[in-house]
Amino acid sequence: MRFDSVAAWLEWQQVAHPLAVDPGLERVGVVFRRLGLARPPTVLTIGGTNGKGSVAACLDAMLAAAGYDVGLFTSPHLIRYHERIRIRGREITDDLLMMAYDRIEDARGDVSLSFFEWNTLAALVAFAHERVDAAVLEVGMGGRLDAVNLLDADVAAVVSVGLDHREWLGDTVEQIGIEKAGIFRPGRPAIFGSRNMPQSVGRLAAGCGARLRRIGADFDFVERPDGWDYLGLGSRRRELPLPALAGSMQLANAATALAVLEAAEPGVLVPDEAVRTGLARVRLPGRFQVLKKDREWILDVAHNPDAARALAVSLAARKTRGRTIAVCGILADKDIDGIVSALRGQVQEWIAVRLEGPRSMPQSELAARIALRAGAPVAPADSVVSGCERARAACGDDDRILVFGSFHTVGPALAHLGLQFDGNGHQDS
């Protein structure tokens, strides 16, 4: 198939493969090998249940500040598909995307690819074409069978392990840990960024000969009144600025990113000044993103209980004189009870919204599920936009609005609020 626009390509890619989610490296591996792509000099692969997007963004910002040409691959996007692939800090262009799709189409023959596999291969084609110095690859789901695992990482990091995507990854953190740690490689550094590490992660690292480094044991951070210090295996970075990302887990995420950079030496060298500049410049929409519009809006893609608990801590730390009204959209296959329970007491009014797509849930059903756990009034709304408008109308002068539960919730809310992202990923209102 050939198409004359990115939009037409994307529309076809979403329906061309029989399964929306189809983990495994056999089919995509065949196409990858046929492409014969040059490997970036440094490959940093970041997985985990929560926090991987923040770690990837920190790495991108710090490496760029040190003068490296960086290719960044993340998923999903909030507003524009092009957000997924960034080169030298800018979203991929239509021309480069079209070139990548044409090359993949030439190489695949009769091999069918899922939407995410097309995404991943397009990023790798673009990175090879642009000859980036370093590729920062965010795992889409799991790790072991994720398409980004086609490349052997010079350093692989698992930021956290929690219960999510259970239908694909397993019902326990031990099972999920095996899938996440599948990005580790023999003899190469493996970073774990949470203080609660499943035993399965340690066993897998030892079994494959990866050099495991854990937060709290091999690296750590110390928060200070005016900043923080990073404590590494062979380095100390003192008097660092707080990362320009709000939320209770961002210091741990930044420390994990620095542990990745430390483990990547001497392949990459990032001086302290570049670390400071990168931390000050890093941006990641939809992660406890605070907007001052007609009132305070907080947007967070939290979509599992662990992320909801971190969101609750961040809300509690950001004091408000009024109520918090939540516009909540959660996909039907998520742990709705666990998510809502984690935020009980932090939200005084809920608006349950219907999301677009086949994994959505009727707003009345979601409202009923929320009502069982929320301990606060709940009302339905038929879309994210109508939910935002209902919340706006219900707000008093001192109230704030929280929009959360999914990328499919935050993306439409950002668009509704008039937020766009320039080619550098910064927001313009």
Q: Write out the two tokens for 302.
A: 């939290």
Return the pLDDT at 422.
44
Q: Cα separation of 386 and 232, whole Å?
A: 48
Question: Buried b / exposed e across 389-427, counting CB within 10 Å, b at 16+?
Answer: ebbbeebeeebbbbbbbbbbbbbbbbebbebebeeebee
- A 10 A CB-CB count for 209 gives 12
**Residue pLDDT tens, the chain, 429 long:** 689 999 999 999 999 999 888 889 999 999 999 999 999 999 999 999 999 999 999 999 999 999 999 999 999 999 999 999 999 999 999 999 999 999 999 999 999 999 999 999 999 999 999 999 999 999 999 999 999 999 999 999 999 998 777 676 888 999 999 999 999 999 999 999 999 999 999 999 999 999 999 999 999 999 998 899 999 987 899 999 999 998 878 999 999 999 999 999 999 999 999 999 999 999 999 999 999 888 899 999 999 999 999 999 999 999 999 999 999 999 999 999 999 999 999 999 999 999 998 889 999 999 999 999 999 999 999 999 999 999 999 999 999 999 999 999 999 999 999 864 444 444 544
Cα distances from 118 to residues 16, 20, 32, 87, 423, in angstroms, run 11, 12, 10, 17, 22
Q: Cα separation of 369 and 333, whole Å?
A: 13
Residue 101 one-letter amino acid = Y
Closest among 210, 253, 219, 215 to 52, alpha carbons compared: 253
| Residue 266: cis peptide before it, omega within 30 degrees of 0 | yes
| 3-class SS of residue 171 | coil
Closest among 305, 373, 300, 366 to 331, alpha carbons compared: 366
- Which residues belong to CATH 3.40.1190.10 in the chain? 6-281
Number of residues assigned to the chain = 429
Could you give the angle at the alpha carbon of 34 between the alpha carbons of 30 and 40, nearest 5°? 100
Question: Buried b / exposed e across 331-364, counting CB within 10 Å, b at 16+?
Answer: beebbbebbbbbbeebbebbbbbbbeeeebbebe
Q: Cα separation of 301 and 288, whole Å?
A: 8
Instruction: Tell me the β-bridge partners of 379.
Output: 351
- Cα torsion 242, 246, 249, 253: sign: negative
Q: Write out the two tokens for 378.
A: 């709940």
| 3-class SS of residue 151 | coil
In the CATH hierarchy, which fold is given to the domain comprising 289-428?
Protein-Tyrosine Phosphatase; Chain A (3.90.190)
Could you give the angle at the alpha carbon of 366 between the alpha carbons of 360 and 368, nearest 5°? 160
Tokens 């990866």 belong to residue: 210
Q: Cα separation of 414 and 40, whole Å?
A: 34
Return the pLDDT at 357.
84
pTM for the full predicted model: 0.93
Return the pLDDT at 363.
95
Cα distances from 84 to residues 52, 97, 423, in angstroms, run 14, 11, 12
> If you classify domain 6-281 with CATH, what class do you get?
alpha beta
- Which residues belong to CATH 3.90.190.20 in the chain? 289-428
